[in-house]
């Protein structure tokens, strides 16, 4: 059975795993992580735009547990990662400079 044109043009989503964050005055300004074994860094605004596009799916990894990251597209769009065991995972992720050093 032939595919609909939109199905054949749609590329698979890219899964990005968030492992650390950059903070400025306790506000998260950038996300760091891995795509396979390749490291990446995205400003929060760019990560929100990527999530909104539907092409990128984010997961936050903390203490070996991966939590799906959801887009909260409210008045101030932001990403959220809530875990039953840990609560707000973004608040628990290490600072990127600590992780690299």
Closest listed residue to residue 86, CA positions, set 66, 71, 70: 66
pLDDT tens for residues 25-56?
A: 888 999 999 998 999 999 999 999 999 999 99
**Percent helix / strand / coil, the chain, rounded to 5:** 25, 50, 30
pLDDT of residue 2: 52
52-79 residue pLDDT tens: 999 999 999 999 999 999 999 888 888 9
Q: Strand 56-62 vs strand 14-24: parallel, antiparallel, or unpaired?
A: parallel
**Residue-level pLDDT at 101:** 43
């Amino acid at each position: 059975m032939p595919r609909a044109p939109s199905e054949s043009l749609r590329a698979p989503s890219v899964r990005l795993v968030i492992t650390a964050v950059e903070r400025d005055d306790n506000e998260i300004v950038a996300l760091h992580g891995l795509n396979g074994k390749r490291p990446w860094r995205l400003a929060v605004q760019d990560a929100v735009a990527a999530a909104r596009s539907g092409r990128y799916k984010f997961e936050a990894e903390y203490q070996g547990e991966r939590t799906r990251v959801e887009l909260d597209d409210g008045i101030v769009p932001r990403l959220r990662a809530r875990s039953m065991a840990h609560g707000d995972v973004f608040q628990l992720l290490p600072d990127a400079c600590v992780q690299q050093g």
